[in-house]
Structure 1
Amino acid sequence: MLGFVLGEMWQGLRRNTSMVISVILVTFVSLTFVGASMLLQLQIQSMKTYWYDRAQVAVDFCTDVSTSPDCSAGVATEEQIGAVEAELTGPAIEPYIDEYYFESQDEAYDRFVEQFSDDPMVSFVQPEQLNQAFWVNLVNPEDSEIIVQTVSGMAGVESVTDQRQFLDSIFAVLNGASLASFAIALVMLVAAVLLVATTIRLSAFSRRRELRIMRLVGASNGFIQAPFILEGLFAGLVGSLLASGAIIGATHWFVQGYLAPRMPGIQMVTIWPDAVLTSVVLVVLGLLLAGIASSISIRRYLRV
């Protein structure tokens, strides 16, 4: 009986080769978009965890060139800097602070030169133009607003900046790209499901005489439907395996092989377990959608 069912399946695949190839390609492309969207979300979460835990609050002090109204009195004095440090070590906000350190203008200049060494404009910047600052690491980065509200407005303070606000804008763009990828994938998945259903109906129509004979000899609906459902599952499996291979290959050669060495500051997704988890999800999703579409399509055809 199993041999008969498999034989019928292969016969259907041979009769509708072009449609089966179309189903495989559409499934492959749509699931690749789904996998790319999943990997991008995993990358975003990985980067958030990595960078948000390292986000600092910068307390910048007034310089000779500061234009902020809070710096009308000129360069921050040692007493003003000491007053800010006293707040950081005071009982009100000290429990929220993991550690902090002071950066002088010369240290800020050295860091600036190191970061922008290839920029010719570096030669026009002098240490006196850069801010002295306290860099504050928090126990919980979510508590940054406490530091901002406490220190902002103190004498000699030009600005208090939470680095997370810069990260939020970057992650907003990445989330938008992920949603766009998912939207495209959703449309193509719908196309794949409809194409599977159409292929199964055409396969059943081309074998309508055999189906009548099977009904006359008393074959059960499950026995009649099995070859068609297997056809859909086969196409879905091949398409999802191709998509899984594309995701693992892209992660290995593009993300890890190309991007990671050139962007060492970014926490990249890893092949184990991110890409493999995504691949498993794609295979299950491909089989599930193909099986459901095939089952519904052949049942509706047989009722007709």
Structure 2
Amino acid sequence: MRFRHIFSETWSGLRRNLTMTLAVIVTMWVSLALFGAGLLAYQQVGLMKGKWYDKVEISVFMCGTESPQSETCTGSSEVTPEQKETIEATLKGNPEVAEVYHESKEEAFEEFRKAYADSPILDTLTVDRMQESYRVKLKDPEQYEGVVTSVLGLPGVQAVQDLREYLDPLFKWMNLIQIGTIAASGLLLLAAALQIGNTIRLTAFARRREIGIMRLVGASNLYIMLPFLLEAVLSAALGIVLACATLAAGVYFIIIQKAQVSLKAFEWIGWNHAGIAMLGVAVVGLVLAIIPTLITTRRYLRV
């Protein structure tokens, strides 16, 4: 009997405040979807950094048959074995270097084939046109200037490339997008919390006579709060479901169907990352529904 009354009061509250309930659902939907997108962006940045930023810090490219004429490259001549030994010894002897990997022309071509498997550019290069290189991992990624300086002018070295020069702007923009998305979703989540509080306050005011009678007959605070709490949780649950559906559609159509097919050189987020974001959306959504309701009911249900 008591549960029937609780559910009846919950339905009555939803029906009386249908417009505000819809506004809460839509606001929760949009804000939680943006919050989930921020979580996905955070995970994507982490994957890209793990593959491209942390693993390879510096690339030392050797002279080849097509290298431009310079002080360290003699045009059509490739790097000699003696020059390679000197370069490798210099790198391994540097205290800032953790590991040194040699990449042959064949290995470089194989990586090129994997990265551009379905691209017409694959037919434009051959193994002979690839460059040998040394991939250098540093003990401290911030301390790279000394390594660059030590090998930059050695005979046989065409160029020294610090990948962070190219990756840092990308990661900065992605971090800005991530922060902006979470900040915008935070404002919308605050608006949703305020809307939930106002809805509960108006509902409590409309039922003030019923609440007074319930208090006089000895009803507990929990019994009086439950209809309001269920009303808020149901509204939040609908917003959570819609937000999770939006995230799932985004991952499938944007990441799986488009990004993973077009840009195979990058590692992209998948369903496991989407699941983590959806879990975060569900937790935040329920907290935003429960906390404002408890605060509002404790304040306005005193008769």
TM-score class normalised by the smaller sequence: 0.7 to 0.9
Deviations 1:234-257 (A, max 9, x none): 111111111112112221232112
Contact persistence 1:30–1:186 (CA under 8 A): yes
Identity %: 30
Give 1:74 deviation, angstroms.
Answer: 7.0
Contact persistence 1:60–1:131 (CA under 8 A): no
Q: Which moved more, 1:72-81 or 1:169-178?
A: 72-81
> Which of these residues, 85, 92, 103, is aligned with residue 101 of structure 1?
103
Give 1:140 deviation, angstroms.
Answer: 6.2
Q: Which residue of 2 aligns with 1:168?
A: 168
With over 3 angstroms needed to count, the CA separation of the structure-2 counterparts of 1:284 and 1:13, relative to structure 1, is: same
Give 1:12 deviation, angstroms.
Answer: 0.6
Q: Which residue of 2 aligns with 1:225?
A: 225
Contact persistence 2:32–2:243 (CA under 8 A): yes
Cα distance in 2, alignment partners of residues 182 and 143 from structure 1 = 28
Contact persistence 1:30–1:189 (CA under 8 A): yes
Q: Which residue of 1 aligns with 2:15?
A: 14
How many residues are matched? Answer: 287
Contact persistence 1:84–1:151 (CA under 8 A): no
Cα distance in 1, alignment partners of residues 167 and 205 from structure 2 = 57
Contact persistence 1:255–1:268 (CA under 8 A): yes
Cα distance in 2, alignment partners of residues 132 and 266 from structure 1 = 22
Runs of 4 or more consecutive aligned structure 1 residues displaced over 4 Å after TM superposition: 60-66, 71-74, 76-81, 114-118, 130-133, 155-158
Structure 1 spans left out of the alignment, 5+ residues: none
RMSD: 3.4
Cα distance in 1, alignment partners of residues 245 and 130 from structure 2 = 51
Cα distance in 2, alignment partners of residues 275 and 236 from structure 1 = 19
Deviations 1:227-282 (A, max 9, x none): 111111111111111111211222123211222111111211011x1111211221
Q: Which moved more, 1:223-232 or 1:45-54?
A: 45-54
With over 3 angstroms needed to count, the CA separation of the structure-2 counterparts of 1:203 and 1:237, relative to structure 1, is: same
Show the 5 A alignment for 1:1-304: 1-55=2-56, 57-60=58-61, 71=70, 75=74, 82-83=82-83, 85-89=85-89, 92-93=93-94, 96-101=98-103, 134-138=133-137, 142=141, 145=144, 147-155=147-155, 157=157, 159-271=159-271, 273-303=272-302
Contact persistence 2:79–2:156 (CA under 8 A): no
Structure 2 spans left out of the alignment, 5+ residues: none
Give 1:150 deviation, angstroms.
Answer: 2.4
Cα distance in 2, alignment partners of residues 283 and 74 from structure 1 = 59
Scaled by the length of structure 1, the TM-score of the pair is 0.80
Contact persistence 1:47–1:267 (CA under 8 A): yes
With over 3 angstroms needed to count, the CA separation of the structure-2 counterparts of 1:169 and 1:85, relative to structure 1, is: farther
Scaled by the length of structure 2, the TM-score of the pair is 0.80
Contact persistence 1:87–1:93 (CA under 8 A): no
Cα distance in 2, alignment partners of residues 12 and 210 from structure 1 = 13
Q: Which moved more, 1:151-160 or 1:139-148?
A: 139-148
